[in-house]
Structure 1
Amino acid sequence: MALSNSFSFAFCFCFSVILLSFYANATDVSHDGRAITIDGKRRLLLSGSIHYPRSTPQMWPDLIKKSKEGGLNTIETYVFWNVHEPVRRQYDFTGNLDLVRFLKTVQDEGLYAVLRIGPYVCAEWNYGGLPVWLHNLPGCEIRTANDVYMNEMKNFTTLIVDMMKKKSFLHLKIENEYGNVQSYYGDAGKAYMNWCANFAESLDIGVPWIMCQQSDAPQPMMNTCNGWYCDSFTPNNENSPKMWTENWTGWFKSWGGKDPLRTAEDLAFSVARFFQLGGTFQNYYMYHGGTNFGRTAAAYITTTYDYDAPLDEYGNLNQPKWGHLKELHQILKSMEYTLTHGNVTTTNFDNSVSATVYATNESSSCFLGNANSTTDATITFEGNTYTIPAWSVSILPDCKTEGYNTAKVNTQTTVKVKVVNKAEDEPESLAWSWRPETIDDTRVLAKGEITANQLLDQKVAGDDASDYLWYMTSVHLKKDDPIWSKNMTLRVNGTGFILHAYVNGKYVGSQWAQYNVYNYVFEKSVKLLPGKNIISLLSATVGFP
């Protein structure tokens, strides 16, 4: 079997070591059971994810400015190992990979920055952010207690932390949803998780660390929540604040899939409900989704990573979502001291309705929540009557007057209209050139760069140099061979994405897998000849899972 220009596959889990670095003239960061403390003060942190490689450096100032205008005080991003170290020990921090420049842009707006180092980021990113060369290191097993992997992870993580030591950062986080897959690895998974925690502490940054979706996070790690709703989440230690590291503002899109949508009302409800029930740190995933440039998208993920975020793919305001959340952020910020210091009492009414009071000696603020998805509620609370729409939260900054309700949208809606590309009517402005791809060596002659007596993993054969792999073999038939039949077929059990089949240089057919279903059987009728028959299979991927 000969191979040419190859690549490969992997199974995708969610893991990452994460550094949360908060800029903006802070000198001391800690926490108690109520909130993150910055310079000794409890803070209400409203964060949004913006991935720097999914936009351009020219876009960054405007994206950060609009985030601040939308009421955020914190920006979060992953660090994508495979683009920063595409070749082992060769690093790239140029162009839209200039992490320091991105963080400086955040700092210039006076915002905090949350830096999630990885090494595995998931994020619908090619191979989850892991460099493919890592998979090909002898003896390497990814995301488990394996010395080869852990040494590489330690090298890259230390590199990023050392870069951040030159800045003023306040908070670190380790692990991203590893608890969701830890059992798959058995005892080695538990050992690896503990190693990550010990490694994080050994970096001696002097700030707290976090693990998300890790219910058994060892102390002093703080566990956090990811999901659509995290109001019912409780940290595993009474000295850890209630933190929501991923509130999904929409969803990613796969090729052939539907456009994602999460309403402004539902998103606002989830946020208000979280703060009603004691939350003090909330991050939108995503606040700006952006674009998957080049070959950065994961398997079958589209070029657009719009995510139905408050800022659309191009950085425009996605209304009414951006404006509706801005109003929510303003009212939450006005209640920061009360929410982080007040005594909390909750009264439960019938039919999933509740009232929560935060009270200090100086003031009080109230939430009236209706978690019934179909029925409005009218209640009497502290001598006043209030009507709360279904699946909504009303916020009363002074416990008397409704200042905001998540179901009542006052922001104008933006409507996008798709128009025909008029450039097609002006062909002189387009400079198209075409040429046929030369595939005779592979399709007809079965010439390749590698010869093997077994199927090779495409990651091993191609090291992520291409999206394409030719598998070529030959079948020799005698005229009296018992295989001869009028109904001969070529059958391929596929575990990849796209397959194009040729027999003796003639195209036989193609097969495309569906998103997240990569096992299929390709079978077509073929006409074989006495003597040598060349079978050439072109396999292609659309990103690695």
Structure 2
Amino acid sequence: MAKKRNQAEDQPAKLKWSWQSESFEESLKALGGKQTEKRLLEQIRTSLDASDYLWYMTTFDNCENQTKVMLRVNTTGHVLHAFVNGKLIGSQYSSADPNFSFVFERPAELQGGRNLISLLSATVGLTNYGYQYELAPAGIVDGPVTLIGTKTYDLTKMPWSYKVGLDGLDKGLVLHSENWKSGKIPTKKPFTWYQTNFKAPLGSEPVVVDMLGMGKGEAFVNGRSIGRYWPSFIARKDGCGECDYRGHFSNGKCLTGCGEPSQRWYHVPRSFLTSGKPNVLTLFEEAGGDPSQVNFQTVVVGKICGNVPQGKTLTLSCQGYGRTIAAIDFASFGDPQGSCGSFEKGKCESKGAVSAVEKECLGKESCSLEAGDEFFGVVDSDCGSDFSKRLAVQATCSGV
């Protein structure tokens, strides 16, 4: 697949952004909770899956006048942001643990008397398969939550107040609102809303938004969510190599994208867009990112490939939109080596493969080729007659 930049008329090369911070005023003061319990509740059942975010808020009376403590939170994940007296002391997300549980531990400073502890728990998708998947927990269910200093205080059965969601969503920031700030845009700033206007890309090809540079959050187009994004989550650098699915299956076979973002381009349905007037893109950035690299593109088929054994039919298609096969980059009938994008000729091949494919496919939106001697001619080689012949073709579609 090939990406093309947004070619809408008068669309600037870079999007112009405005911003505002997520309001934590009530939550950091342990206010605004709709429910209070003397225990730590499970997140999904408490929020009724109305939001990825749930606040756990409580107060602690520092009668011993301790100043430096360690806040320890046992959580079933997936993400935790911890605030003490309105200050963010740290953030953490679960590692490769399949159960998503982890222990958050960060130093914190207390003041004499009443202290405010606010824990923002976030999910990044819910389990949807496996035995009793609907019972898989999330959030700081049962804890424990402790403060460790000269003494250890267990806060698990303190009165905890619960608040679901973000203030920005309640205020309608995903589509419109007042108090957006312009000028210099802050970057790498957690819990920030960004908004920009853009024109719908011309044509009817699929539209994507490139989220490179952003951290973690959720994107909205004209008030409708196009999903969570997390391009700062980078796949492991090791593991990619030759692909061979033979033998027992494991999730480490045939890995691709090593060292790259888990996802970078996010689909924007054209039904979400309006032509002839500005569209609105709104981002809630949870981890801290830079929106200056965000841009809209259209997606077209660039290179098309096929590799089939003798006797099978190979079909090439530019997938519509009026695009046709413009060039045959590689064609070999015999023992071609490699894979799409890196085909190489082997020791044995028919001399007429390229011309036969060009005659059958050039200028067409799609074509079908039967891999056999009748169409491509006899393979001229010293490989003998007992090797398995294959047909491999790579072509380029027009308009890329």
Compare the two structures and name the one with the higher helix fraction. 1
Which structure has the highest strand share of the two?
Answer: 2
Q: Please indicate, yes or no, whether the TM-score normalized by the shorter chain is above 0.5.
A: no
| TM value normalised by structure 2 | 0.28
TM-score by length of 1: 0.21
